[in-house]
């Protein structure tokens, strides 16, 4: 018999008797308790089911803090303010303070890496690539002030500029630098191997360490950097794919100079690297080089004298020394426009090769 019918029956038998009222009250209490137990059970069941679903799912991933390698290894400058620009390119501007930086996030503009970019030819190359629409990462070794200056100039040209101190003679440091870029850069389109050391090595003064130092800086480090960064370059979406441009020397290509065997051998290795990597990295990456004559006179030594310079110029069909800007424009062309060239070393010497 249903509970409501049983309650009605009890009250109908003796509606005013204490026994009937007691039984009715007890029945109501039992009914209420049963309802509470039922509701509680349903809620518990629902919670249990939900808990099982949650437990059955893998834990929600919590982003692991990533060490900002850019903040550790490099510095980025912000575009100068109007007040800074009024002070002039560099003269009156305050030094850019060191600051922690965010990883590079730009995806629209090509990204170029230039080694030894702070001064002379490297500076001209970096600026040419910036004018060509690239954001520029560059390295320097000792020229910290020039690096700050170049970064400001690149910012004024509309390029995001980041720079790193890097000694290419330090093999582990080169490996770490390459790993940092490979892990943190969202893209890399151009690598320019410009940094080098240059000095005489007369045979009566030659040491194995000096010769190896030329090789490590001028040839081995460019090879290692290219190998480590090749996967990034292969994903480049610029016309013609990723590009590597290495700076060789016409005097290491059949025009040897006296007392420079260590330097010339290292630069000859660069020219061979261009040809070898052009095959290894095709078709996704083009590899070319430039072989300058004189485009920036040495700052010391015999070749820094007016007499030595005049003697050299007399053998240049175009009748003048080149400029860093001459080299920069050829590098920009090879990197961004010469989409059907690979394995070539372009002489930038005013015709000096012919005489």
Q: Give me the active site residues, please.
A: 263
Query: Which residue intervals of the chain are DSSP H helices?
Result: 3-13, 18-56, 69-73, 82-86, 120-131, 144-156, 171-184, 208-215, 221-234, 261-281, 306-313, 324-336
Which residues is 192 bridged to in the sheet? 114, 245
Structure tokens at 273: 């690297």
Q: Are 151 and 161 spatial neighbours (Cβ–Cβ below 8 Å)? A: yes
Sheet with strand 111-114: strands edge to edge: 74-76, 161-165, 135-140, 111-114, 190-193, 242-247, 285-292, 345-348
User: Closest Cα partner for 192 from 121, 97, 295, 294?
Assistant: 121
User: Closest Cα partner for 292 from 124, 112, 130, 118?
Assistant: 124
Residue 11 makes CB contacts below 8 A (sequence gap 6+) with: 20, 24
Q: What is the DSSP letter of 68?
A: -
User: Closest Cα partner for 196 from 119, 276, 105?
Assistant: 119
């Amino acid at each position: 018999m249903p509970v409501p019918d049983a309650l009605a029956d009890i009250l109908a038998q003796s509606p005013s008797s204490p026994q009937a009222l007691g039984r009715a009250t007890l029945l109501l209490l039992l009914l209420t308790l049963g309802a509470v137990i039922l509701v509680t059970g349903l809620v518990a069941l629902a919670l249990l089911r939900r808990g099982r679903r949650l437990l059955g799912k893998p834990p929600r991933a919590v982003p692991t803090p990533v060490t900002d390698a850019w903040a550790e290894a490099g510095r980025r400058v912000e575009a100068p303010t109007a007040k800074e620009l009024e002070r002039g390119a560099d003269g009156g501007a305050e030094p850019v303070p060191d600051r922690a930086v965010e990883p590079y996030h730009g995806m629209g503009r090509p990204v170029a890496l230039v080694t030894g970019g702070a001064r002379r030819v490297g500076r001209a190359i970096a600026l040419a690539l910036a004018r060509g629409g690239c954001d520029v990462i560059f390295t320097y070794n000792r020229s910290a002030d020039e690096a700050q200056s170049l970064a400001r100039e690149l910012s004024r040209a509309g390029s995001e500029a980041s720079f790193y101190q890097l000694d290419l003679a330090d093999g582990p440091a080169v490996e770490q630098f390459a790993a940092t870029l490979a892990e943190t850069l969202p893209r890399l389109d151009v690598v320019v191997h410009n940094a080098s050391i240059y000095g005489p090595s007369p045979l009566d003064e030659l040491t194995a360490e000096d010769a190896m130092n030329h090789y490590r800086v001028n040839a081995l480090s460019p090879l290692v950097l290219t190998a480590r960064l090749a996967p990034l370059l292969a994903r480049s979406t610029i016309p013609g794919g990723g590009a590597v441009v290495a700076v060789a020397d016409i005097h290491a290509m059949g025009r040897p100079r006296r007392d420079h065997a260590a330097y010339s051998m290292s630069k000859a290795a660069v020219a061979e690297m261009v040809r070898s990597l052009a095959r290894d990295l095709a078709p996704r990456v083009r590899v070319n080089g430039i072989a300058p004559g004189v485009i920036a006179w040495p700052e010391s030594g015999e070749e820094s004298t007016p007499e030595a310079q005049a003697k050299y110029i007399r053998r240049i069909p175009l009748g003048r020394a080149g400029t860093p800007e001459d080299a920069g424009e050829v590098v920009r062309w090879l990197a961004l426009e010469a989409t059907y060239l690979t394995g070539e070393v372009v002489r930038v010497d005013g015709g000096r090769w012919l005489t």
